Structure 1
Amino acid sequence: MARNLDMTALRSFVAVADCGGVTRAAGFLNLTQSAVSMQLKRLEESLDLKLLDRSARTIALTANGEQLLSYARRMLDLNDEVFGRLTAQEFEGEITLGVPHDIVYPSIPQVLQQFNHAFPRMRVHLVSSFTLKLKEMLAKGEADLILTTEDTLDAGGETLAELPLVWVGAVNGSAWRQRPLRLAFEHKCLFRKGVQKALDDAGIPWQMAIESDQSRTIEASVSADLAVHAMLVGSTPPQSETVQHGGALPELQSKQVNLYSTDMARGQAFNALSDLLRGSFEMRLATRGIAAQ
């Protein structure tokens, strides 16, 4: 006799694996903690397998759980694609989404993938630029939805997260030890003045060693150990790392990740994309143990 897996239980299982716990997964899924726990129990009973190791303070996957997770992601992706292809044909058009260079990863690719599954006929035009440029585009009607990284929130916006800036350097690099400290920043980066002030207040000499309008140039220079940079926690490129300076460099301020939209940008697809952006940063805060603002 054929047996069927419960897709709702699988979705809860994946959420628990991604969020690192039942409580955070329940918030992400908008369910009660008891409902998520019941779905996990039902899933384990249906497979007659232990999927989660609950012996430690944090929930971990068993070997069977790790194997199921791979299957579950593929099944949910296919499930969402089927529903999107067959039920969302009335949604057609384009949404222009603006995102600063330094927060495209790791959240935005996953958001775009999820949105495409739900609204396959909608096109998201992704624009990556500086906060000032993105706000200009929004004001001119050239963008429908933008994320920004800034100190304050303007009228009509919504703060999704407040994340600390961290020092970024080459993997196992030593540029952060040099004095004067060599800095690498884009010309229009909103972080650079605050970083310079923090160094001045700490009495640390510095020089703007590398400047460019291209983020790739800055990333390449930092990864080559020619200078250091500052980025929001969790956004460090794979070829660089957060500098473990042990207090040799000043702590940096936090920045807000804000969401803005045009008055004309409304509708189910637009709201779904906005919700995915909110959810991605809620999960990012949860997985890093940072309280939502």
Structure 2
Amino acid sequence: MNAAMNAPAWDPAQYLRHAGHRARPFVDLLARVPDPPGAAPRIADLGCGPGNVTVLLADRWPAARVTGYDNSTEMLDRAHVEHAGPTPGGGRLDFAHADVRTWTPGTPYDLIVSNATLQWVPGHAERFGEWIAGLVPGGTFAFQVPGNFSAPSHRLMREIAHSARWRDRLAETLRHDDAVLEPAEYLQRLTALGCEADVWETTYQHLLHGEDPVLDWVKGTGLRPVLTALADDPGAREAFLAEYRAALREAYPATAHGTPFPFRRIFAVARKGA
């Protein structure tokens, strides 16, 4: 959960309200990651958030020394309290403050992963070369990012932010639909760096429950810049939410069984040459 251009404030409790749905893409990503070359691998998780998926790395490789990096104090505090410490397999799980926009590997890593973070980092593909250079021979760089910036959830958010009522306060707040690259572009970038790359996409059909569940979802992630920008004006914040809530209800109508929420994600696993 690293900084966007407008440095949104993060709320771990809100983010974790949909933890099961949010964790599934990371599980699917890890299923395609080969075992690191070292017996006690060093692993970096860029944008670890509250650490709820970072622990899956320690579960998969019990002897690993895993470090989760994030620039949100709120997220790191939650991760430290709930997850930091030695692991049953002789490894260790730690968390540290870092900004993905400037982070560089200080020591060789067997695996560098990032889960739903790079979309917050403008020009993130330009960092791939430096990160891959920080892998041991045969090491892996793997990530997943949302690929739904043209979906109604994000498009409506941008349209309202750019409307006459809100543009003076919010026009520069939100990311645009070029926040991530298309799968073919990621494939080209990674293979050009000498990696054996596996890139794919999946659209999950989440079935959400509760009142205004799509709004509740984006309050934990994509809407954070707006909530941060309007934090000092509760009246304006509620007015924006009311307008956005109405648009989401029309775009994602509830059914008798819940509210369907399609969510496209892009995955990449790049293995460095041995």
Q: Same fold (TM over 0.5)?
A: no
Larger Rg: 1
Structure with greater helix percent: 1
For normalisation by structure 2, the TM-score amounts to: 0.29
Q: Which has the higher contact order (CA 8 A, sep 6+)?
A: 2
Task: Please give the TM-score of this superposition, normalised by the length of structure 1.
Answer: 0.28
